[in-house]
Amino acid sequence: MLEHLLKQNKDWARKQIERDAGYFDRLVHQQAPEYLWIGCADSRVPANVITDLPPGEVFVHRNIANLVHHADLNCQSVLQFAIDVLKVQHIIVCGHYGCGGIRAAMERSPSGMVDHWLQPIRDIARLNRDELEAITDEEKRFDRLCELSVEGQCDRVLQSPIVRDALDRGQDLHVHGWAYRLTDGQIRCIADDKKRAEG
């Protein structure tokens, strides 16, 4: 039963200790990540791997299509813990081009519970219909919708009472919207404090 995974885990743990004897002891005593990552659950977009960050450096929340629902107890709890307890300085909402969640939201075939989950994407598509309909290439249209959704989720992060309270207290906190490209592994910044200030 999944013995290859357990073996890989043992090998990994052994290699970590060989490289750095104090590795696990240090991690046990401290979790102080600077970043909260809100990303897609897609197996091709693992936060630590694509940012080349070791364990302990990024607090991660992932769900289908990296959505921030105001009533999602899971996501809002993650936000609160990250901000109030871990005191992260940066919240990164990272979408990705070629996201199956974005595509599924725009296709008419019903897929059960996930349809409810993906509703915010359809709302964003409706609000930006003119811009999106002007993009004739379907893939490019979905890519643009991915970016618009990332912006929308950043807004939802900023609207969260947890984030508003932290900003009112003067806590050092920044929200960044990113999009990852599967085809070349590169991340593009879609929205952040600086862009907002300029825009």
Q: What size, in residues, is the chain? A: 199
Q: Which of 61, 90, 96, 144 is catalytic?
A: 96
Smallest separation (angstroms) from Co ion to the CB of 26: 33
94 is catalytic: no
Stretch that binds Co ion, among 32-40, 129-137, 144-152, 172-180 (CB under 5 A): 32-40
Q: Is 40 in the site for Co ion (CB under 5 A)?
A: yes
User: CA triplet 83, 84, 89: central angle to 5 degrees?
Assistant: 35
Query: Closest Cα to residue 31, out of 75, 99, 81?
Result: 81
- The verdict on whether 44 is a catalytic residue reads yes
38 is a site residue for Co ion (CB under 5 A): no
One residue of 35, 36, 42, 67 binding Co ion per CB under 5 A: 42
Q: How far is the CB of 70 from Co ion (least distance, A)?
A: 21
**Any catalytic annotation for residue 69?**
no
Residue closer to Co ion (CB basis): 118 or 132: 118
Only segment of 17-25, 98-106, 150-158, 171-179 that touches Co ion (CB under 5 A): 98-106
| β-strands 58-63, 174-180 pairing | unpaired
Q: Which of 99, 143, 154, 156 is catalytic?
A: 99
Nearer to Co ion among residue 35 and residue 180 (C-beta) = 180
- Compute the CA torsion angle 77, 121, 63, 30 (nearest 10 deg): -50
Type of residue found at 151: E
Binding Co ion (rule: CB under 5 A), the pick from 68, 79, 99, 191 is 99
> Which residue do the tokens 């709302």 mark?
123
Contact 179, 147 (CB under 8 A): yes
How far apart (Å, rounded) are the C-alpha atoms in residues 25 and 27?
A: 6
Residues facing residue 187 across a β-bridge? 180
C-beta of residue 80 within 8 angstroms of C-beta of residue 160: no
Establish whether 96 is a catalytic residue: yes
Phi, psi dihedral angles at 82 (to 5 degrees): -65, -40
Given the rule CB under 5 A, which of 27-35, 37-45, 73-81, 188-196 is the region that contacts Co ion?
37-45
Q: Which is nearer to Co ion, 87 or 103 (CB)?
A: 103
Query: Which residues of this protein are in contact with Co ion, per CB under 5 A?
Result: 40, 42, 99, 101
Residues known to be catalytic: 40, 42, 44, 96, 99
